């Protein structure tokens, strides 16, 4: 029931163009600002790579070309080859989908969970809210990477564990952002009017409060996504994330780090991809924030 | 005009830089203020009056600039001054008393030091800090702060709003400035505090007979009381000036006349004649009308007014008006205009009617959190008794006005009735159904019967939902209509609050304040409730818009027989709309009864003070406002005996501080809670 009204809330706003055209205006504002437009372009480029990677990549990620170790970039191999004779360009391109899927799924779950927890506890208030957010504060006091390492040490490295780490680390942050908006909206007349009509919790949260949360939540989700990419890559680099021979960017940096004198390209291109994507998402998030908070 | 003017504003145009060019908030304004003169600048929000005040200081902020014309202070054009010279003028010649005193004081400096700092700046090195501090104390005494030494040592947040404003006035008075600019100096204060501050301002603005004062206000009554002359601004233009007495007695501009007619005044009743509001709303700066700026709202507008901007004419030596048809306005051409044939509603049933709402002994106690030290010392928990034993009865179809200042508990009382706040004692029943304390425990059928309109129209509507969605929901939820039926009813609801059906597709951000409040009223009426609570429902609105909303409320009541509980600080609105009044102070009712009895002697001394603070306009005789001592005590430090004794100008003596006063029955349901016998009250108030 609650979810139903939430979905309807989002559906309606797309049809009607949201609060006085805010979302359409935001898109215009993003393309109007050079830095946000650059960010959006970079992100779109990677989205295209993630979607059409197998069509673009000339080789498979695990293809080891005989006698082709440490080849420098050429027309044959745009980004050169690595120590096992694998095409770096293909691995970077094919790794995009992996990292998008992992970081994206993690972010999606964290945002959904964080929004739900933030909405319900902040609106209800009382000791449940107190307990929830005090434990979140405790969780946030531990550096994300340390928490991730501790967790992966217990459950063992795998995709599922990485996903779990992202969710665990980012849910509290999203919940806090949602909570701050809920606390600002809760005492307003329209919420009290809804209570005076005897509206259900689901309606009040989904239809009356959620639209006010969405602008901040959109920006937060974009930022979380970029941090999640960074986290996945970091864990890969530390060898506790995605396991070989998957074309994970962090893992590729890890594998290439001893060959940096011989074949710097095998390190620079995956590292550059991480940096470019994270910067791109951040520029886009910044543009979103400016556009939606006008 | 007397002698040389201190302030000369000539053809002043002030603009703010927008995304697509300049927006001129003040256009072509010419004004003079002579020594010893108090000029009132009157206008609604959006009239440009604050911009005018800031431009007079040349203190416009980054986006604003004087685009044309001149502001001359003692002959010096401020626009030509260097920043250094301008600062010297600010320090020496001109002072501003702003609207929000807390925002104007530095929260981290002691009040005395802030006043001394201003004195040092103005003295240009001729004073030592110690002398400046001494003078600061003198100034704090001059503004009649009760304990100047203590105030000087305190921080701004330790002072009440009235005391903060006094400190700011003290700061403005040092070094005998030539020009005082008062920008809505009492708007953020309570009525009784306002009366005291106005008395002080009347005294200090004219102490030397040389000082010029620019008094910016939206309140016609205050300008009429405080100023010699007044200038009326509308949408950035000067529409009329003149001596206050003549201006308010015989306005020549339709806008001035409209403002005066919009104001509910003593003796006016909604049952006798509806108010005459000004239709429409003030135009936005980016879509100013051609010709006369007022023509879209003017009942006398001609084709000429739509095409041509009228010149500023001088009907008398000391008067100016910008209207083609001022001669007709003078002869009373507006008298019949704008009545729109509204039938005066009949008087509602008598107070003996079947009660819709009855409250008995209603209490709301907020427990205060104890500090650790208090817990360790085993002090009993303290509490704020926001509502303390209130009994009220409200007959069907009648309107009860609950009047009180901030901190009186009137809003908490209303919230207990609707269930947004859970009462901690007493009983409330609707007709004969007892109401549970909390909303969640009330049945949907009960919820339908009580609705509320909130004070702040900005926050009453969800910015992300269209008007149509906001109105459809109560119809479906409480009125048990299907979605299609509800959609059809939305148009009728909008029509009932005099909005076009097209508004259903709009978002609140696209509506003016008055329009939003109409939608909020429509939402409250959607499910045809028996009882509607109006919590300061018109106080955030401009006078002309307020009048239209009051008329609307009166008409809705007549049509639906709805009962109103009207929470307000404004006795003028109460005397216009309410049938019964309850005056509350610190959570208790001090006086109650039918409105015509309550607002006439014998009066409770508190009601008397509230009533005396009510502004009057010429030709009504001005009242002598009763300035109450101090401020409303904090409800956590409740006075003993009679709650009002600490501020009562008629207190008898120790008995008032020791014993709770008895209810004295003045007949006809009129009761007063006071130790003074009714005959004595009548005698005192009849002669005073």
Q: Which two tokens stand for residue B460?
A: 């009453």
CATH architecture of residue range(s) B7-93+177-330: 3-Layer(aba) Sandwich (3.40)
Residue with the bigger pLDDT between B352 and B538: it is B538
Cα–Cα distance for residue pair B676/B688, rounded to 1 Å: 16
A73 has a pLDDT exceeding 90: no
DSSP secondary structure string for all residues of B335-349? TTTT-TTPPPPPP--
In angstroms, the Cα distances linking B596 to A36, B266, B396, B580 are 66, 10, 19, 8
The owner of tokens 């530095």 is B106
Residue with the bigger pLDDT between B549 and B338: it is B549
Cβ–Cβ gap A189/B454 under 8 Å: yes
CA–CA min distance B409, chain A (Å): 18
Reported confidence tier of residue A79, pLDDT bands at 50, 70, 90: confident
Query: Which residues in chain A have Cβ-Cβ distances shorter than 8 Å to B523?
Result: 193
Cβ–Cβ gap B478/A19 under 8 Å: no
CA–CA min distance B460, chain A (Å): 4
Q: Which two tokens stand for residue B254?
A: 């339709």
Per-residue confidence (pLDDT) for residue B207, from 0 to 100:
67
Question: What is the rounded average pLDDT for all residues in chain A?
Answer: 85
The three state secondary structure string of B30-96 is EEEECCCCEEEEECCCCCCHHHHHHHHHCCCCCCEEEEEEEEEECCEEHHHCCHHHHHHHHHHCEEE
Percent of chain B with pLDDT over 70: 96
Per-residue confidence (pLDDT) for residue A18, from 0 to 100:
42
Per-residue confidence (pLDDT) for residue B336, from 0 to 100:
57
- Spell out the CATH class of A2-47+106-292: mainly alpha
A89 has a pLDDT exceeding 80: yes
User: What average pLDDT does range B97-103 have in this prediction?
Assistant: 86
B412 has a pLDDT exceeding 80: yes
Cα–Cα distance for residue pair A283/A273, rounded to 1 Å: 15
- ipTM for this prediction: 0.83
Reported confidence tier of residue B345, pLDDT bands at 50, 70, 90: low
* CATH 3.40.50.300 placement within chain B: 7-93+177-330, 355-538
Cβ–Cβ gap B420/A188 under 8 Å: no
Q: Which two tokens stand for residue B437?
A: 């304390």
CA–CA min distance A196, chain B (Å): 6
B355-538 topology per CATH: Rossmann fold (3.40.50)
The owner of tokens 């929004």 is A115
pLDDT (tens digit per residue) in B448-458: 999 999 988 88
Nearest CA in chain B to A22: B464
Cβ–Cβ gap A189/B507 under 8 Å: no
Cβ–Cβ gap B477/A208 under 8 Å: no
pLDDT (tens digit per residue) in A158-188: 888 889 989 999 999 999 999 999 999 999 9
Cβ–Cβ gap B477/A195 under 8 Å: no
B382 has a pLDDT exceeding 90: no
Per-residue confidence (pLDDT) for residue B384, from 0 to 100:
84
- Confirm if A244 and A255 have CB atoms less than 8 A apart: yes
Query: Which residues in chain A have Cβ-Cβ distances shorter than 8 Å to B462?
Result: 190, 208, 211-212
Cβ of residue A19 closer than 8 Å to a chain B Cβ: yes
pLDDT (tens digit per residue) in A228-245: 998 998 998 888 888 888
Residue with the bigger pLDDT between A23 and B300: it is B300
pLDDT (tens digit per residue) in B132-155: 999 999 999 988 888 889 999 999
Cβ–Cβ gap B439/A16 under 8 Å: no
CA nearest neighbour of B235 among B184, B183, B181, B280 = B280
Per-residue confidence (pLDDT) for residue A294, from 0 to 100:
54
B425 has a pLDDT exceeding 80: yes
């Amino acid at each position: 029931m609650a979810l139903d009204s939430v979905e309807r809330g989002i559906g309606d706003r797309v049809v009607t163009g949201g609060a006085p055209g805010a979302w359409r205006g935001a898109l215009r504002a993003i393309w109007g600002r050079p830095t946000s437009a650059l960010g959006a372009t970079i992100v779109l480029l990677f989205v295209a790579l993630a979607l059409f990677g197998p069509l673009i990549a000339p080789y498979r990620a695990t293809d080891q070309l005989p006698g082709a170790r440490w080849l420098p970039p050429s027309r044959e191999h745009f980004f050169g080859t690595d120590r096992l004779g694998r095409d770096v360009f293909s691995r970077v391109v094919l790794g995009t989908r992996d990292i998008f899927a992992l970081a994206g799924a993690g972010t999606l779950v964290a945002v959904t969970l964080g929004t739900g927890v933030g909405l319900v506890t902040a609106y209800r208030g009382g000791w449940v809210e107190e307990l929830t957010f005090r434990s979140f504060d405790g969780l946030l006091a531990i550096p994300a990477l340390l928490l991730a390492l501790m967790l992966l040490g217990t459950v063992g490295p795998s995709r599922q564990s990485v996903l779990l780490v992202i969710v665990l680390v980012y849910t509290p942050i999203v919940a806090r952002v949602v909570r701050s908006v809920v606390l600002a909206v809760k005492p307003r007349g329209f919420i009290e009017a809804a209570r005076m009509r005897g509206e259900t919790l689901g309606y009040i949260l989904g239809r009356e409060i959620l639209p006010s949360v969405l602008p901040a939540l959109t920006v937060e989700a974009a930022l979380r996504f970029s941090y999640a990419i960074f986290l996945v890559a970091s864990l890969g680099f530390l060898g506790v994330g995605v396991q070989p021979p998957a074309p994970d960017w962090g893992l590729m940096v890890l594998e290439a780090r001893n060959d940096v004198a011989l074949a710097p390209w095998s390190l620079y291109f995956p590292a550059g991809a991480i940096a470019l994507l994270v910067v791109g998402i951040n520029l886009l998030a910044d543009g979103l924030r400016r556009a939606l908070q006008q | 005009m007397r002698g040389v003017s201190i302030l000369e504003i000539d053809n002043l145009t002030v603009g703010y830089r927008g995304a697509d060019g300049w927006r001129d908030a003040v256009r072509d304004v010419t004004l003079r203020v002579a020594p010893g003169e108090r000029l009132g600048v009157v206008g609604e929000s959006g009239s440009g009056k604050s911009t005018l005040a800031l431009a007079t200081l040349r203190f416009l902020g980054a986006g604003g600039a004087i685009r044309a014309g001149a502001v001359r202070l003692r002959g010096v054009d401020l626009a030509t001054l260097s920043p250094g010279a301008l600062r010297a003028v600010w320090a020496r010649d001109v002072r501003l008393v702003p609207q929000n005193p807390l925002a104007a004081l530095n929260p981290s400096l002691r009040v005395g030091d802030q006043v001394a700092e201003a004195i040092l700046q103005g003295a240009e090195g001729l004073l030592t800090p110690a002398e400046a501090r001494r003078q600061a104390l003198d100034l704090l005494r001059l503004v009649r702060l009760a304990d100047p030494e203590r105030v000087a040592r305190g921080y701004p947040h330790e002072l009440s709003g009235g005391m903060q404003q006094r400190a700011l006035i003290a700061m403005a008075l040092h070094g005998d400035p030539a020009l005082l600019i008062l920008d809505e100096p009492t708007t953020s204060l309570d009525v009784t505090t306002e009366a005291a501050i106005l008395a002080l301002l009347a005294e200090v603005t004219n102490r030397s007979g040389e000082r010029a004062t620019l008094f910016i206000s939206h309140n016609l009554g205050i300008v009429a009381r405080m100023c010699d002359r007044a200038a009326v601004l509308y949408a950035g233009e000067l529409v009329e000036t003149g001596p206050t007495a003549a201006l308010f007695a015989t306005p020549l501009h339709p806008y001035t006349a409209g403002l005066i007619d919009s104001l509910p005044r003593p003796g006016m009743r909604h049952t006798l004649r509806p108010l005459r509001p000004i239709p429409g709303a003030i135009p936005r700066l980016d879509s100013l009308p051609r010709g006369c700026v007022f023509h879209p709202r003017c009942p006398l507008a001609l084709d000429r007014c739509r095409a041509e901007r009228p010149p500023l004419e001088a009907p008398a030596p000391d008067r100016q008006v910008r209207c083609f048809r001022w001669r007709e306005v003078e002869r009373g051409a507006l008298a019949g205009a704008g009545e729109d044939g509204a039938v005066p509603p009949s008087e509602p049933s008598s107070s003996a009617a079947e009660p819709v709402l009855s409250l008995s002994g209603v209490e709301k106690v907020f427990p205060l959190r104890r500090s650790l030290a208090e817990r360790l010392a085993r002090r009993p928990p303290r509490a704020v008794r926001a509502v303390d034993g209130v009994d009220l009865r409200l007959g069907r179809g009648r309107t009860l006005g609950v009047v009180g200042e901030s901190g009186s508990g009137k809003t908490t009382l209303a919230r207990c009735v609707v269930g947004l706040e859970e009462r901690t004692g007493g009983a409330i029943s609707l007709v004969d159904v007892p109401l549970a304390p909390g909303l969640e425990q009330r049945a949907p059928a009960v919820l339908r019967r009580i609705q509320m309109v909130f004070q702040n129209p900005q926050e009453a509507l969800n910015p992300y939902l269209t008007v149509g969605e906001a109105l459809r929901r109560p119809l479906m939820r409480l009125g048990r209509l299907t979605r299609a039926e509800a959609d059809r009813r939305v148009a009728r609801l909008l029509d009932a609050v005099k909005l076009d059906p097209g508004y259903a597709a709009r978002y609140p951000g696209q509506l003016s304040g008055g329009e939003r409040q109409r939608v909020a009223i429509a939402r409250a009426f959607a499910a045809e409730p028996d009882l509607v609570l109006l919590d300061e429902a018109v106080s955030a609105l401009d006078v002309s818009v307020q009048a239209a909303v009051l008329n609307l409320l009166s008409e809705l009541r007549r049509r639906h027989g709805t009962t109103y509980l009207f929470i307000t600080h404004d006795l003028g609105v109460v005397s216009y709309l309410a049938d019964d009044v309850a005056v509350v102070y610190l959570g208790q009712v001090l006086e109650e009864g039918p409105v015509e009895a309550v607002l006439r002697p014998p009066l409770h001394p508190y009601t008397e003070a509230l009533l005396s603070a009510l502004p009057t306009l010429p030709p009504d005789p001005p009242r002598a406002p009763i300035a109450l001592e101090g401020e409303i005590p904090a409800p956590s430090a409740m006075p003993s005996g009679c709650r009002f004794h600490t501020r009562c100008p008629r207190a008898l003596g120790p008995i008032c501080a020791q014993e709770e006063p008895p209810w004295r029955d003045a007949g006809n349901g009129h009761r007063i809670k006071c130790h003074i016998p009714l005959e004595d009250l009548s005698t005192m108030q009849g002669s005073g």
